Chain A
Amino acid sequence: EAQVTQNPRYLITVTGKKLTVTCSQNMNHEYMSWYRQDPGLGLRQIYYSMNVEVTDKGDVPEGYKVSRKEKRNFPLILESPSPNQTSLYFCASSPGTANSPLHFGNGTRLTVT
């Protein structure tokens, strides 16, 4: 089944404790990205990647890191999480061509205390 797999679904952590949210897609998509969803703000892009070893900042990259060592994986890393990073996170992928929609993972609800 074609899908974007994101883990974990829920994560509670404390300020400053490094964490990684994994994302993997099995559709051979070129393009992958991370979004955070906050009430009243919709989804905002954190980072994106057009291909292996190519990553770029989105609209809200501060406090996040990503890597794209393989085509299928695009982990999101929070080196020192803070409470303002409490949010719902989505990984998404697409073929990267015109009119291609984003395929989303099931989301990760992160709480930083």
Chain B
Amino acid sequence: AQTVTQSQPEMSVQEAETVTLSCTYDTSENNYYLFWYKQPPSRQMILVIRQEAYKQQNATENRFSVNFQKAAKSFSLKISDSQLGDTAMYFCAFMNLNYGQNFVFGPGTRLSVLP
């Protein structure tokens, strides 16, 4: 079974600073996909960034980037120049097409950006 672990239940960061959220996963598969979703207080689930396991290059989306370490099964999210609007719950998710496209989510990290 695939599992996703987010070891930081809560984090805080000062506005304009950089923060890194950690995520590790367990799988025996070689081809899979990883995602970070953001859930602000409105409870909407918003895609932040995605990564294909076969790509060595780390994905980047504006202020968001990942550090994907396939051998270590690690997929951390870095938020640069943190903004108040980044305050949210962040979920790491794993998906493999061999499992009915079941997205396996981690327990989440609650991030607070402080003014």
A residues whose Cβ falls under 8 Å from a Cβ of B: 31, 33, 35, 40-45, 48, 50, 56, 58-59, 88, 90, 92, 94, 96, 98-102, 104, 106-107
Give min CB distance, A96 to chain B, whole Å.
Answer: 6
The docked-state distance in angstroms from the alpha carbon of A28 to that of B61 is 27
- Contacting residues, chain B, for A59 (C-beta < 8 A): 102
- State the B residues within 8 Å of A (CB): 4, 6, 9, 33, 35, 43-45, 47, 50, 52, 91, 93, 97, 100-108
CB closest chain-B residue, reference A38: B107
- The minimal Cβ–Cβ distance linking B27 to chain A, given in whole angstroms, is 15
Residues on B with C-beta less than 8 A from A35 are 105
Q: Are B102 and A58 in contact (CB under 8 A)?
A: yes
Q: Would you call B52 and A99 a contact (CB within 8 A)?
A: yes
Given contacts A42-B91, A90-B45, A107-B43, contact A102 B103 (CB under 8 A): yes
Q: Are B35 and A101 in contact (CB under 8 A)?
A: yes
Q: Is the interface of A mostly helix, strand, loop or mixed?
A: strand
CA distance A101 to B6 in the complex (A): 20
Whether the pair A44, B105 counts as a contact (CB closer than 8 A) is yes
Given contacts A48-B102, A96-B101, 5 further A-B contacts (CB under 8 A): A42-B6, A43-B103, A45-B103, A92-B45, A104-B45
Chain A residues with CB below 8 A from B43, complex form = 88, 106-107
A88 to B91: give the CA distance in the assembly, Å.
15
Shortest CB distance B15–A (Å): 26
From residue A29, how far is it (CB to closest CB) to chain B in Å? 11
Q: How far, in angstroms, from A94 to B35 measured CA to CA in the complex?
A: 14
A40 with B101: CB separation less than 8 A: no
